[in-house]
A = this chain, B = another copy of it.
């Protein structure tokens, strides 16, 4: 396996020339220039990341990383920890929201056990990459060792690389892990410098009292662990989750191979904050699919400089927002490649006025 540094070294700035080529073609299509708004931007973004024109509708894969969180023992979630493993079974049977939305947009869901506190045996369809049986309680000490965090990031990098080799042209991130909004809030507060109270929300639906407790737990975790903001892997290890580390790796691996990545919600942006701190150019490969209800998500997106495509009041995770975002990217690619030009269609252009 290659080292993280090798992956980071491969991530380069993008060439704006691809964006210009795309916009020039878009302006020849039978529509007023710019009239497809965000779809035109998505088409230009896709071409710029991949550096290929014209693009083809890509094979699409959503990686849903599952892991457990030691901090759940502090009572920060509305659901019991067992739900993480139960939902993995649900994903594999195709009954979860991510399965439905992935089918809807024609994407494959790849479920990764990167740290669930459950033995799945050799469950077919599950990608077995367990680094440990969940993190330790970050309110009492580091969630992971740096070595565990590095291994989990490595899993994500490796999965991205394998996907590239199979010809996947569009990746999306997803997560399952009871307790992971707590970890994501801790990372987001640390990486953006915002107060914990501003980046912490109700997750799967906790009440006011538990919300206050959740914030206190996160503040304690940050106080005890003293994460070093200059060392993103230190922040990830001390406050993160194995699925968050896996997503960080997937993003970096994709960026190294110039594969566009559609980010899901709050958990994915926490992972992206770590990835971008490790290598700022990573940002160019990222698309924010949607604006989640979690208050920290907006703050993370602002820090990342990303503008979400959809705002559907969602807060489920799993990759559900990203799946819908993938559908939009595909629509944009099809606009670019399937529409007739003014010349082809014999349609008169704009009158000089």
Contacts and interface: CB of A to CB of B under 8 A. Distances in A.
Name, among A36, A101, A327, A334, the residue most crowded by chain B CB atoms within 10 Å (CB to CB). A36
A224 interface: no
A96 B30 contact: yes
Contact of A83 (B99, B331, B348): B348
21 contacts: A31-B97, A32-B79, A32-B205, A35-B314, A35-B316, A38-B313, A39-B314, A82-B348, A83-B347, A90-B345, A95-B344, A95-B345, A96-B339, A97-B339, A100-B334, A103-B334, A104-B327, A207-B353, A210-B353, A312-B328, A324-B331
Interface string A26-41: 0001111111111100
A124 interface: no
Interface in A60-115: 75, 78-80, 82-83, 86-87, 89-90, 93, 95-97, 99-101, 103-104
A37 B97 contact: no
Interface of A: 29-39, 75, 78-80, 82-83, 86-87, 89-90, 93, 95-97, 99-101, 103-104, 204-207, 209-210, 293, 309-316, 320, 324, 327-328, 330-331, 334-335, 338-340, 344-351, 353
A37 B314 contact: yes
A172 to B, nearest CB: 15
- Within the oligomer, what is the number of copies of this chain? 2
Contact of A314 (B36, B100, B293, B327): B36
Given A35-B204, A35-B205, A86 B346 contact: yes
Contact of A331 (B101, B316, B330, B349): B101
A33 B206 CA distance: 11
A27 to B, nearest CB: 11
A114 B66 CA distance: 55
Nearest to A349: B79
Given A36-B97, A310-B310, A205 B345 contact: no
A99 to B, nearest CB: 8
A310 B30 CA distance: 23
A339 B104 contact: no
A266 to B, nearest CB: 12
A33 B205 contact: yes
Contacts of A293: 37
B353 A96 contact: no
